[in-house]
C-alpha cells in the first residue's frame, strides 16, 4: 500500500512540475517556458507520456521564440500587421508599426483610429486623443466609426475586429 502511495506522490510531483512549465507557456513567456520544460525533461525522464507532451510544448515554445522576419513593404502591410499585433495584445509592437505606417501616409485616418484604439485598450484614452490631433470616434453602421482627422477629413471606417 505504501508503495502505491509513493508512486502516486511521485506522479503528483511530475504533474505539478509539468503544470508549472505549461503555465509559463500559456502566459506567453516562452524563454522561461523553454527553461522549465528542458529542466522537466531532464528531471523526470521516467514518465514517457508526460515527457512526450513536454517535448511538444518545448518545440512550439522554441519556434515562438524565433523572431518573426516579415518584409513589410508598404502602408497596407504595416496597418494589417499592426492589427494582428493588437489582436495578440502586443500594443507596443502595434504602436511602432503604426508609426511606420504614418511615414507612408501621414494623413491617413485609419492609423489615427488604430492608435486611439490601442491607447483605449491600454487604459489611456486621453493619450489616444493626442495621437493625431483633434478627432472623434463614433459608432456607425455595424460598429464602424466616423473619424475626423487633424485636417478635418471625415472618414467612415469599418469595425476593427479583435479577439478578447
- Please tell me the distance from the alpha carbon of residue 144 to that of residue 105, in angstroms, as a whole number: 21
Give the pLDDT confidence of 141-156 residue by residue, as tens digits.
444 444 444 544 444 4
Decide if 108 contacts 155 (C-beta within 8 A).
Answer: no
Write the DSSP string, 44-64. -TT-HHHHHHHHHHHHHHHHH
Q: Per-residue pLDDT for 135 more than 80?
A: no
Report pLDDT for 162: 39
Three cell numbers, residue 19: 503544470
pTM: 0.44
Give the pLDDT confidence of 59-112 residue by residue, as tens digits.
988 888 776 556 788 888 898 889 888 888 888 888 899 999 989 988 887 888
Amino acid at each position: 500500500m505504501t508503495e502505491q502511495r509513493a508512486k502516486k506522490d511521485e506522479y503528483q510531483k511530475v504533474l505539478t512540475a509539468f503544470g508549472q512549465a505549461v503555465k509559463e507557456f500559456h502566459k506567453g513567456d516562452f524563454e522561461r517556458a523553454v527553461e522549465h520544460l528542458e529542466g522537466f525533461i531532464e528531471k523526470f525522464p521516467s514518465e514517457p507520456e508526460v515527457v512526450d507532451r513536454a517535448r511538444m510544448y518545448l518545440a512550439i515554445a522554441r519556434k515562438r521564440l524565433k523572431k518573426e522576419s516579415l518584409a513589410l513593404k508598404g502602408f497596407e502591410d504595416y496597418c494589417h500587421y499592426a492589427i494582428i499585433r493588437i489582436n495578440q495584445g502586443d500594443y507596443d509592437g502595434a504602436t511602432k508599426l503604426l508609426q511606420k505606417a504614418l511615414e507612408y501616409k501621414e494623413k491617413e485616418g485609419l492609423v489615427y483610429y488604430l492608435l486611439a484604439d490601442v491607447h483605449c485598450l491600454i487604459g489611456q484614452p486621453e493619450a489616444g486623443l493626442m495621437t493625431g490631433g483633434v478627432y472623434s470616434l463614433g459608432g456607425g453602421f455595424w460598429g464602424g466609426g466616423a473619424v475626423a482627422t487633424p485636417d478635418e477629413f471625415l472618414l467612415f471606417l469599418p469595425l476593427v475586429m479583435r479577439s478578447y
